[in-house]
Amino acid sequence: MKIGIVCYPTYGGSGVLATELGIGLAKRGHEVHFITYKRPARLITFQENVFYHEVSGEDYPLFEYAPYETALASKLVEIVKFEKLDLLHVHYAIPHASVAYMAKKILLAEGKYVPFVTTLHGTDITLVGNNNTFAPVVTFSINKSDGVTAVSESLKKQTYDHFNIQNDIKVIYNFIDFGRFRKSDKDHFKKAIAPNGERILVHTSNFRKVKRVEDVIYIFKEVYHEIPSKLLLIGDGPERHHLEELCRKIGLCHEIRFLGKQDAIEELLAIADLFIMPSEMESFGLAALEAMACEVPVISTDVGGLPEVNIHGKTGFMSKVGDVESMAKNAINILSHDEILNKFRKNAMEQAKRFDIHEILPQYEAYYESVLKTAVW
Ligand code: GMT
């Protein structure tokens, strides 16, 4: 198949997943064309069968904002025609599904047919989508997609609850590549971070408010009082400055390290003992899955798709949003004995296997096939 992928090319979960999907599909013999405004962050090495087309974001003196949607629609039309694509797979309802619909209509007017699949990742539905400003476009573009997937049962339900959707939504979970995400020996690294054998807690995110990174710091504060430990904060985003100030205020700067954006997350997860995800909303929680694949148990909230990933009392624990006390208690419980920690580590890795890329990729392929068979002009 010749597949065009549209996504946000950032470090965010949807961009990561879309990029890994494209790379995985290319390895299975498909021709994959990424059509994005910047090279996707995870598209770092040359891959046979993978092509990248940049959407130019030129400013026009007349317009206050660069017309990105128009530029993307035009680029999709050009690439579908020139590269003879069979299908478009767009990640995020807005604006990508509505743009794909526009491109499809332009192509139809020229006698060329290309169906598009939309994958809902979460923020498009739970945070942005149910803002009334966007609701008509989100509803329309989901209903007009030739196929729709959601990354968890929870997100599927929320989409039906919030919007008037007539289309079927297929759940295809986030996936993990064990070729990359697995526990490896990084002892030298561990010694540098935790020279006295301290436990290492990790959080990765884009430091948006929805991630509640402040809670991570308060959970760590409690753990630190009971167990010698260090906290690694990986990523960057709007909350970072405020979080650095908080660490200073509570006097824990020397135990907490801000590592910024990192490409080789798996090397940091290799030395981690516990992953903290206290999000206010999480449609799946790809970062938690990456940790679990590296044998790191997860302390999380119980929102969205997290109960489909983190099994309470087995791969980690879940608590209510904002219940720092409960999350800290559970963290201390896991970290206080090697036998308990090791049992949780093993369970986390076993659960992660459910989301192995080799299980999930064929589900996308089968879905594309069914869309190509059934889609109507
Ligand atoms: O979590 C983020 O801030 C990034 C966000 C995105 O849209 O890129 O991630 C969403 O999509 C991921 C991949 O499907 C999911 O694993 C994340 O749970 C989801 N984030 C939220 O729902 C907040």
What span, in angstroms and rounded, lies between the C-alpha atoms of 36 and 76? 10
Which residues 6+ apart lie within 8 Å of 226 measured at CB?
332, 336
**Strand segments (E) across the chain:** 2-6, 31-36, 50-54, 87-91, 116-120, 147-150, 170-171, 199-205, 229-235, 256-260, 274-277, 298-301, 316-319
Which residue has tokens 């090791």? 342
Contact 17 CB / ligand 1 (< 6 Å) = yes
Between the CA of 305 and the centroid of ligand 1 the distance, in Å, is: 10
pLDDT at 192: 92
Contact 282 CB / ligand 1 (< 6 Å) = yes
Contact 287 CB / ligand 1 (< 6 Å) = no
Task: Print burial letters for 78-105: b (CB count within 10 Å at least 16), e (below 16).
Answer: ebbeeeebbbbbbbbbbbbbbbbbbbbe
Query: What domains sit in the chain, N to C, each tagged with a CATH number?
Result: 2-175+356-374 (3.40.50.2000), 187-355 (3.40.50.2000)
pLDDT at 75: 97
- pLDDT band for position 187 (cuts 50, 70, 90): confident
pLDDT at 23: 95
- pLDDT band for position 185 (cuts 50, 70, 90): confident
> Which of 6, 11, 14 has the most ligand 1 atoms within 8 A of CB, as the residue to mutate?
14
- pLDDT band for position 22 (cuts 50, 70, 90): very high
- pLDDT band for position 174 (cuts 50, 70, 90): very high
DSSP 285-327: -HHHHHHHHTT--EEEE--TTHHHHS-BTTTEEEE-TT-HHHH
pLDDT at 57: 72
Q: What are phi and psi of 116, to 5 degrees?
A: -135, 140
Contact 310 CB / ligand 1 (< 6 Å) = no
Model confidence at 129: pLDDT above 60: no
**pLDDT single digits (tens) 218-263:** 999 999 999 999 999 999 999 999 999 999 999 999 999 999 999 8
What's the rounded mean pLDDT across residues 277-282? 97
What's the rounded mean pLDDT across residues 131-153? 93
Between the CA of 257 and the centroid of ligand 1 the distance, in Å, is: 24
**pLDDT single digits (tens) 27-61:** 999 999 999 999 888 888 888 899 999 998 776 77
- Average pLDDT across the chain, whole number: 94
Model confidence at 341: pLDDT above 60: yes
**pLDDT single digits (tens) 58-114:** 767 777 777 889 999 999 999 999 999 999 999 999 899 999 999 999 999 999 999
Please give the number of the atom of ligand 1 that sits closest to the Cα of 210: 23
Contact 301 CB / ligand 1 (< 6 Å) = no
What's the rounded mean pLDDT across residues 187-208? 94
pLDDT at 12: 82
Please give the number of the atom of ligand 1 that sits closest to the Cα of 152: 14
What's the rounded mean pLDDT across residues 359-372? 98
